[in-house]
Chain A
Amino acid sequence: MTDIQTTASMRPATTQDVADILMDAASKGEPLVVRGNGTRAGLGNPVAALRVLELGGLDQIDFYDPDDLVIRAGVGATLDNIEQVLAQKGQYLPFEPPRYAGLYGTDGARCTLGGAVSTALSGPRRILTGAVRDFVLGVEGVNGQGDVFKAGGRTMKNVTGYDISKLVTGANGTLAALTTLTIKVLPAPRAEVTLVLPAATLEEDVALFARIRALPLGVGGLARRVSPTGACEVLVRVEGTVPGVAGNQQVLGGLLATRGSMEVLEQQASQALWAGVRELDCLNARPDDLVWRVNLPATTMPAFVAQARKAGCINRFFVDWAGGVVFSTMRGVQPEVDTLRYRKMAEQAGARATLLRAPDAVRAQFGAFPPVSAGVAALAARTRTAFDPAGILNPGRMTVQA
C-alpha cells in the first residue's frame, strides 16, 4: 500500500536543497511524491510519480520556548522526539496526533511532525482542545515553482496576512513541500483519570455524551468501544489539576451512577488506554479490511451506524469525539460496490466518509477522501494552481480525476 512504483528517492537535508529539487522538477514538469518518512503513504490517493521527495531528513528542532508555549522544528522531526522534548517540561501536543502505524504496518517511531500537519489527523482530545489546524502558528515551505516562502509566525495571536498555515495543514503535500513548522504547545494536564462504564444503546450513549459535554468539566475524551475482553463500554477521560480532576470525577460519578459498575483508570493506565483509542487498536482490523472514518453530527450517528451495519457496510466499529466520528472496518467481498454504497449512505446522512485504508486500486478509483461540491473543488484546484502551477506536488493525492 504505497505510491505507484517509484524508482528513486531524494532525501534533502536543507530547505535550499528542497528548493533546488523542486525548481528542477518544475522546469521539467516532473511530478513528485512528497512525504516525510512515508509511514502514512497509505493515506490519500496513490500518486503517479517516478521520484519521491522525502523530507524526513529535515529533522532539527530550531527552538523550544516552554514559557512561550512554542516549538519550531523541521518537518522531519519525529513526533516521538517532539513529544519527548515537550514532556521534559511538562508540555504536550494538544492535538494528540495518531501515528496509525499499526494500520499501515509501518514504524510509528518514524512518524514525523510534518506528516501530522500535512495529514491533519487529530486524536481523541479534539473535542476539548482542538484540531491540528488550531496549533500551527507558522510554516516555511517550498512551492511548486521552487520558491521558498514563509507564512504565519510564532505568536499565539497573529492576523498578519492570510492564514496560509491553516491552508497547508491537511493539504497532504499538494500545495508545498513544507520544511519548517512552528507549533503552539500547551502544559499537559497534571492529572487524568478515565471512567469506564458499561455501554447502553448508541442513542443512550450519545445522549450521555451530550449531557457530559454540556458541563464545563474538562472532559477530553468520550468514546465507545468494544474492549479487548469483548465488553461494550463507554470511556470518559477527565483532565486537569489534581484537585480539579478529583472534584470533576465526583460530579461525573453522580451523573453516571445509574449505569452500574464503573471502573476508574488512573494516570498511566488511562494514558495507555487512550493511546490505543487514538491508534484505532480496538478495531482489530485484519490486514485485508478496508478502514473508514466517518465524521458526522453526533446526534445522527446512531441511525447512520444502524443503517450501515444492516447494509453490511460496517463490520467492526467504534465511536470517538463524543459520537462525532465513527471508525469502522469493511470486509466486503466486493469492496468497490460497498465503498460506493457506504459513501452514498454517509452523504445522505450529511456525513464525510474517508477511506483511511484500502488497496491502491480502490483509493485510485473512488478517492480516499469524500467528494466535495463542484464549486469547492474548482476553488481548491485554483488554489493548488496558485502554489503549484505545474501540478508536480503529490498530484491526485486528494482528488480523483473525473
Chain B
Amino acid sequence: MQMPEPSQAIISQRDALAQGLRQIVGKDWVISDDAQRRPYQCDGITAYMAMPLLVVLPGSAAEVQAVLRFCNDRGVKIVPRGSGTSLSGGALPLEDGVLLVTSRLCNVLAVDERNRVARVQPGVPNIKISEAVSHLGLCYMPDPSSQLISTIGGNVAENAGGVHCLKYGVTANHILGMQAVLMTGEMLELGGAYLGAAEGELDLMGVLTGSEGLLAVVTEIAVRLEPVPEVARVISMSFASVEEACACVGAIIGVGVIPAGLEFMDRKVLDAVSVLIKEKFDDRTAALLLCELDGTAVEVDALVGVVSDVARGQGAIELKVSTTEEERQRIWSSRKLAFSAIGKLCPDYYCTDGTIPRNKLPEVLNKMADMSKKYGLDYANCFHAGDGNLHPIIMYDASKPGDLEKAEEFGADVLIACVDAGGVLSGEHGIGVEKRDLMTHQFTEIDLQQQQMVKCAFDPKDLLNPGKMFPTLCRCAEFGRMHVHNGNLRFADIPRF
C-alpha cells in the first residue's frame, strides 16, 4: 500500500511539535515514545501499519480546536481516530502526521427524553448511548457489529451500518446535529437537537457524515433516540441451494416486508460455526437465512406468518422460529460467531464489503466461486443479504509469501464485480486506503474531481487524513484555475500512490 511520501522536514520537528502539543492537552496526553505509540500503528486492518509521528488525546472540544490550529499553522497532517476499528484503514497513521484520538471525549452530555435526542461526545462507544437511555425504553438504532468498541465519532466518519440498518437506516439517518472543527480550528454548529434543524442551508452535516475524517473533526453529535421494539423474533431458514436462498431475499421484500435484519450464511460458515456451538445443521443445507422481525407482538406474529409462507414457497427445507428471547439469542449466536469460527479454520482471513442490487446476488456469488479457483484461495460467505452488502471472507496464510497479495487481488476482483453488477465498492466499511485505488473503477475522473473540490472547500491545504479515499491527493490550487471539459482528463499524468 503506497502512501504519500512522508515529509522529513516535519518528522525532524517531532520533539518541538510534541512540546507544543503538550502545552495544549497536558503532558500526559501526548504520546511520543516508541513503545506507547506502537498499539496505534494500525486500525482494524492489521495488514497496513505505520508509526504515527505523535499520538495526541485531547480532553475537550476546545483542545481539539487548539490542536488542529497548531498543526494547521505548521503544515502538520492530522489523522483522526476513535477506537481504531476501521476495516478500511481509515485510521491508518501517517509517519509525518499527528494521530488525534478521541477516547477521552467519552461523555453522554445530555439526554432529552421528550424530544428523544441525546447529545454525545465523539469518543462514546456506540453501545453506551443505548445503555444510557435503556431505562427510558429508548435506544440508538444503528448497531454496527463493532458497537461494543467502535465510537459514535467513528460511526459518523464512516456512516456505519449494522445488522438492523435494513429497516432502521444507517448512521446518517439518525444524526440531527453536530459540532465540527475544521482543520483551521474553526468550530461550526450544524443542525441541532430536533428534526429539521439543518434545513434551509446546504446539508453540510450530510456530507460530513461518511467523509472518513477528511473534512472535519466532529466534537459533538446530537443523535435520534427510538423506542425499543416491543418484540423481536428470528426465523432461521435453510435452503438446498444458494440460488434459492438469494431468491427468497427478494421475495420477502417483494411481498412488502422489511425485516429488521436479513442475514445470509453459506455452508462453509455453518460448518465452521457448528463446531463452536456444538449444533449440527441439516446436511442438505447449502445456505441459511436469518430473518429478524420486530414490532408489537401482534404485528410480529403476522409478519412471521407472511415470511414463513414466502420461505416455503421459495423452497426452504427447514424453518425454525424463535418463540422466546433465549431462543432468539441462540439462533443469532451462529451469525455472531461466524467470523471467529472462520478464524479458527485458517491462519488469516480478509473481508471486504462491496454492495450490489439484491437480485444480482446469485450472479456475483457465482463469480466469486470462479475467482476462488483462479487464486487458489478458499472463501466463505456471511453477509447482510437484505441490503445486498457482501462480506466475502477470503482465507489465506500471511506466512506464505505472496498469499496476502493474492487475497488482496481476490478481494479487489470481488469489488470490481460488485461495481460491474450495478453496485458499489463499499456498503459500510469505507474506502480508506484499502479500496482507494479502486475508486476510478466506480467513478469517472470528473466524478472524483467534483468530490475532491468539496474536500478543498473544507480543507484546502489537504492536511486532514490525506492519502485516504482518493487515489490522488487534492490539488486545490489547480482545481480553482484549470478546467478541461468532458472527456479530457484533467490530471491524466499526475502520480497516483
Chain A residues near B (Cβ < 8 Å): 19, 23, 65-70, 90-91, 120, 126-127, 130-131, 133-134, 143, 145-151, 153-164, 166-167, 169-171, 174-175, 186-188, 190, 207, 210, 213-218, 240-244, 246-248, 251, 295-299, 321, 324-325, 350, 352, 354, 368-370, 372-373, 375-377, 379-380, 382-387, 389, 398
Contacts and interface: CB of A to CB of B under 8 A. Distances in A.
B188 A376 contact: yes
Interface residues of B, number: 104
Contacts of B450: 143, 147, 149, 151, 164, 386-387
A70 B456 contact: no
A377 B190 CA distance: 11
Interface in B427-469: 427-431, 435, 439, 442-444, 446-451, 453-458, 469
A170 to B, nearest CB: 6
B194 A120 contact: no
Nearest to A216: B227
23 contacts: A65-B359, A69-B253, A154-B357, A159-B426, A159-B429, A161-B469, A163-B206, A164-B207, A166-B209, A167-B202, A169-B206, A210-B114, A210-B115, A214-B113, A248-B296, A295-B196, A297-B115, A298-B114, A298-B115, A325-B196, A373-B188, A398-B200, A398-B202
B405 interface: no
Contact of A169 (B203, B215, B227): B203
**Interface-central residue, A156, A161, A376, by most chain B CB under 10 Å:** A161
Contacts of A160: 424-426, 431, 435, 439, 442
Contacts of B455: 162
B422 interface: yes
A94 to B, nearest CB: 10
B97 interface: no
A213 B388 contact: no
A160 B456 CA distance: 18
A146 B485 contact: yes
B387 interface: yes
Nearest to A176: B450
A70 B357 contact: yes
A383 B423 contact: no
B166 interface: yes
Contacts, number: 292
Interface string B381-399: 0001001110000000000
B359 A67 contact: yes
Contacts of B211: 162-163
Contact of A375 (B187, B250, B299, B389): B187
Nearest to A119: B199
Given A214-B138, A321-B195, A387-B450, A157 B161 contact: yes
A324 B429 contact: no
Given A153-B423, A157-B170, 16 more contacts: A19-B486, A67-B359, A68-B359, A91-B256, A134-B169, A143-B450, A155-B427, A157-B389, A160-B424, A162-B211, A163-B172, A187-B253, A352-B200, A354-B200, A368-B200, A383-B204
B195 A379 contact: no
Contact of A155 (B159, B200, B299, B356): B356
B158 to A, nearest CB: 6
